[in-house]
Homo-oligomer: A and B are copies of this chain.
């Protein structure tokens, strides 16, 4: 079992707690105040958030933000954005101090009471929020800002430790006790702690496959934690897997369909992050993830029923081989994807049902897990 190996993507920058974030905001605001009081022109420096300012090393395992910075100073042209940035920092401080949250959309609506500093469109407020996120080198959730969407369910050998916000009482949530249901990952997961004696985390693409493994208590004999991603995992789901894996030193195995979407969208986003959010990939990817299947090789070995690749699948596969630094880097992936293109077909994880509904539990997963060293990177 790969459980003995330490995870590859150990977190460098330990995310800050609420006090540290509030402290950083006060520090930046204080410096601005001093500058202004001295009748000098205030200045804010942000990391440049673009692919020009990003580097990729397999050792780090994610697109990393470089050192280039852009400056925002106070001029006639920038006065509104400057004011908005300060008000957004102030809102963040308030959220952090009161242990409250705001979605991006709520933050936009809150600004409607900022008079001349109000945002006219949400993309403007989102951009300012991302500037602040990059400025403090934390993630949005730590600033009190949460995404709109939820996603990700958990079942199996895990106790999640949370707190009742009012009473401060510790809540121990035992994911072995949900029956046919599951624990739904909250939008922000920074405050959660974990207790587990599981050997690995199994991240699953479809809700149907997850439900089969839950129904049969697969996690019991396999001693694992099951995660339903429900397609491309949300930020919260990725962050949850990452924190759990880092803190408990658990390997992460990913079980998806064998098609360019499962490989190049779901798996890749979980593992190395996404291109257009490089300043937060550090927190939101799981570099230690490995590909359990379904692989193109499995289609042959398990004689799986297939569907022809559509044009969009073919395009996605070529894009992955040609333009994606992650697939580009790994020869094994290049030849696996070439094999898929060559066969011209795709197969779903549920295609294993051809050999019986529980073949996946009785045969496929045990065989794969005893050969974890052979997983695609």
Verify A186–B181 contact, CB threshold 8 A: yes
Contacting residue for A106 out of B102, B163, B350, CB 8 A: B350
Q: Is residue A180 contacting chain B, with contact meaning CB distance below 8 A?
A: yes
Q: Report the bound CA distance from A290 to B5 in whole Å.
A: 54
Could you say how many copies of this chain the assembly holds?
2
Verify B217–A165 contact, CB threshold 8 A: yes
Q: In angstroms, how far is the closest chain B Cβ from the Cβ of A26?
A: 21
Q: In angstroms, how far is the closest chain B Cβ from the Cβ of A360?
A: 10
Q: Report the bound CA distance from A150 to B363 in whole Å.
A: 26
Q: In angstroms, how far is the closest chain B Cβ from the Cβ of A10?
A: 25
Q: Smallest CB-CB separation from A94: which chain B residue?
A: B357
Q: Report the bound CA distance from A354 to B180 in whole Å.
A: 40
Verify A146–B109 contact, CB threshold 8 A: no
Q: Is residue A135 contacting chain B, with contact meaning CB distance below 8 A?
A: no
Verify A150–B153 contact, CB threshold 8 A: yes
Interface string of A187-229 (1 = CB under 8 A from B): 1100110000000000000111011101111001000000010
Contacts of A153 in B (CB 8 A): 150, 184
Verify B350–A105 contact, CB threshold 8 A: yes
Q: Report the bound CA distance from A177 to B161 in whole Å.
A: 11
Interface string of A156-183 (1 = CB under 8 A from B): 0000101111100001010001111111
Q: Smallest CB-CB separation from A177: which chain B residue?
A: B171
Q: In angstroms, how far is the closest chain B Cβ from the Cβ of A9?
A: 24
Q: A153-B150, A171-B179, A178-B171 are in contact. Are A208 and B166 (CB under 8 A)?
A: no
Query: Which of A162, A166, A182, A184 has the most CB atoms of chain B within a 10 A radius of its CB?
Result: A184
Q: In angstroms, how far is the closest chain B Cβ from the Cβ of A191?
A: 7
Q: Report the bound CA distance from A129 to B228 in whole Å.
A: 26
On A, residues with C-beta under 8 Å from B are: 100-103, 105-107, 109-110, 112-113, 146-150, 153, 160, 162-166, 171, 173, 177-188, 191-192, 206-208, 210-212, 214-217, 220, 228, 230, 305, 348, 350-358
Given contacts A101-B212, A164-B217, A180-B191, 17 further A-B contacts (CB under 8 A): A102-B353, A105-B348, A106-B212, A106-B353, A109-B305, A109-B350, A109-B351, A109-B353, A110-B353, A112-B354, A150-B207, A162-B178, A165-B180, A165-B215, A171-B177, A181-B183, A184-B184
